[in-house]
Amino acid sequence: MLNITGVKQHAWLLFDGKLWQRNYWEHIVRNEPDWNQIRAYIQNNPLQWTLDKLNPVYGQSRGDA
């Protein structure tokens, strides 16, 4: 019970009363092809970081900076 009390008194303040992200929807994995698509996304998504405009070094590798 001490952990629950501590979370309520201290950690909850970090969330400003809101725990879930706004406009967030869950996706239910319904079958194996769906699972494989999600797994591929998770695996490949970090590789896209170099192409992301929010990346602070975006474009530097192409000489655009």
Range of the domain at 25: 21-65
Q: Does some domain include residue 57?
A: yes
Q: Does some domain include residue 10?
A: no
pLDDT greater at residue 42 or residue 17: 42
Q: Does some domain include residue 28?
A: yes
Q: Give percent above pLDDT 90 in the chain.
A: 25
Total number of domains constituting the chain: 1
Mean pLDDT within 7-17? 66
Q: Does some domain include residue 60?
A: yes
Q: Exposed e or buried b for every residue in 5-41, given b needs 16+ CB within 10 A? A: eeeeeeeeeeeeeeeeeeeeeeeeeeeeeeeeeeeee
Q: What is the pLDDT of residues 17-30, one digit of tens each?
A: 666 667 777 788 99
Task: State the average pLDDT for the chain.
Answer: 78
